Amino acid sequence: MKHLSLCVLLFGMGLIGLANDKDTAKIDEEAEKAVAELSSLMSKLDSVEKTVEYKQGNIKLENGIASLEIPKGFKFINAKQSQYILEDLWQNLPDPSVLGMIVSDSFHINSFASGWAFIVSYSALGYVKDHDADKINYDDLLKDLKEEQIKSNEERKKLGYDQMMLMGWASKPYYDKESKVLHWAKEYAVVGSENNTLNYDIRVLGRKGVLSLNAVASMQDLEEVKSNVPTILKMSNFETGYKYNEFDSNVDEVAAWSIGGLVAGKILAKAGLLVGVLKFWKLILIGLATAGGAIWKFISGRRKEDDYTVQNLSGGNDPNPAG
């Protein structure tokens, strides 16, 4: 059951059904509170969903540096609305570099139908040289990243983020020299989460910087995300004057980053984004489970009482005889 409205409706119907019973007072207050909070959140999500402008076709990014060609099966959400979703709904730190989100056609703010989204952003790093791309030992790089992740957990703790452990490559880094696109994926274990999380990154190199597409997903979505990557890789296109092959060494700044640096660099340290999204949906699921558990506790308690009554009426033994 993926649509939140239906979830809340069913719980509400359960409470209404119980309200017609003479034992209404026994309904756990926790269940009523949980349903009320979920209903309020659902109303907010429904309101946001009505205002989101999903777009397809040729999309000019607001910074004027690049465009995206969004085909059927995908949708684009603009910068302002994406920033609202990421910050207000998914509780992430403000990030002015966000230019939008690419989502599946089944994605809706008030639905579980899609478990992933690619966040589009741009960093004016300068021209990234790729001459050493074939010389990078990504296994050694992974060891360094794991050590850095352990150190960075202290900073994450200060920011209020859950601590994360880098488990390994979910998809080993690959650089396409012809298209100037780098992509890779990492698997993280998050403290307090049963499921590992996925950080899938795409970097498109340009003349003056790098266009980033960061996947927000869980490891359960890895195969679906990977199946969509070939299409997503073809979506972006730098405008004339910003293309990688238009680099002019006389006037353009060369980035301090290398291809390996893009994989290891602090520019990728948006781990709070993924955790924030997962925590948002986890809170909703916990709320549903709490409401459902409380209602079930009431129902199962009623059944025990009914069984006891039937047993006495039929002449059975009292499990708690007096005296």
Question: Is 80 exceeded by the pLDDT of residue 115?
Answer: no
For 146, the token pair is: 């794991």
* pLDDT band per the 50, 70, 90 thresholds, residue 269: very low
Q: What is the pLDDT of residues 165-201, one digit of tens each?
A: 899 999 999 999 999 999 999 998 888 777 788 889 9
Question: Is 70 exceeded by the pLDDT of residue 98?
Answer: yes
For the chain, give the percent of residues with pLDDT over 70.
70
Give the mean pLDDT of 300-304.
48
pLDDT at position 322, please?
Answer: 41
| Spans of all domains in the chain | 4-47+281-306, 54-269
* pLDDT band per the 50, 70, 90 thresholds, residue 320: very low
For the chain, give the percent of residues with pLDDT over 90.
40
Task: Check residues 186 and 301 and name the one with the higher pLDDT.
Answer: 186
Report CA 90 to chain centroid distance, whole Å: 8
Cα diameter, the chain: 100
pLDDT at position 240, please?
Answer: 97
Query: To the nearest whole number, what is the mean pLDDT of the chain?
Result: 78
Q: Can you list the positions of beta strands (E) in 177-318?
A: 181-190, 197-205, 210-218, 236-238
* pLDDT band per the 50, 70, 90 thresholds, residue 2: very low
Q: What is the pLDDT of residues 33-51, one digit of tens each?
A: 767 777 777 788 888 888 9
pLDDT at position 36, please?
Answer: 75
* pLDDT band per the 50, 70, 90 thresholds, residue 156: confident
Q: How far apart are CA 114 and CA 108, in angstroms?
A: 8
User: Given the structure tokens 């990014």, which residue do they identify?
Assistant: 61
pLDDT at position 112, please?
Answer: 55
CATH code reported for the domain at 54-269: 3.40.1000
- Residue 190 and residue 219 in contact, taking contact as beta carbons nearer than 8 Å: no
